[in-house]
Amino acid sequence: MKLYLVRHPRPRVAAGVCYGRLDVPLAEPVEAAAARVRSRLPADLAALPLFTSPARRCLALSAALHPRPRVDARLQEMDFGTWEGQSWTRIGSAALDAWAGDPAGFVPPGGESARDLQERALAFTRQLVAEGIQVAVCVTHGGVLRVLSAWRHALPPERWASLDFACESVCLLEWHPIYS
């Protein structure tokens, strides 16, 4: 299966703020972002299944790209719990150091771990494989791109943070049943 993973456009949120699952709006009208992203997706996009996170920053792009986007909650960003909406400086270096010490297993207060995110995203890809889908597009978040790319390339958790996907990134992963 070819899986096109698209990160949403830049959200309207202050720099240095942990926004994870916060439902923040886009920083600019979606049409320009959709044009930039569309040029990096298959020409027959409207004929392919397009799945999206329920976050409005993803929904807006999905609706601009496809006539029938399908919402799947498994494509949501990592849940940062009480860190959501807080500046990274306010969260503090002790908490961030604890996360850095266990990048896959650390759970922010009231949130989920990166491994939880990965399992949720892998359950989604396994379903696509089971349904026999050959090509799919997913409009989602940086965390989802990171954990699926890490899984596909067998990267250890300490390397996950080195994977960086800018807003409007398009990442193509070849996904074979043996990876599921």
What is the CATH number that goes with domain 2-179?
A: 3.40.50.1240
pLDDT for 88: 97
Angle CA 15–16–20, to nearest 5: 100
Burial class (CB in 10 A: 0-12, 13-18, 19+), 144: buried
Radius of gyration of the chain (CA): 16
Tell me the pTM: 0.95
The per-residue DSSP string of 103-132 comes to TTT---TTS--HHHHHHHHHHHHHHHHHTT
Going by pLDDT thresholds of 50, 70 and 90, the confidence category of residue 176 is confident
Residue type, 67: P
Going by pLDDT thresholds of 50, 70 and 90, the confidence category of residue 178 is low
pLDDT for 175: 80
Nearest 10 degrees: Cα torsion 148, 154, 159, 163: -40
Residue 110 has pLDDT above 90, yes or no: yes
pLDDT digits (tens, 9 = 90+) for 124-156: 999 999 999 999 999 999 999 999 999 999 999
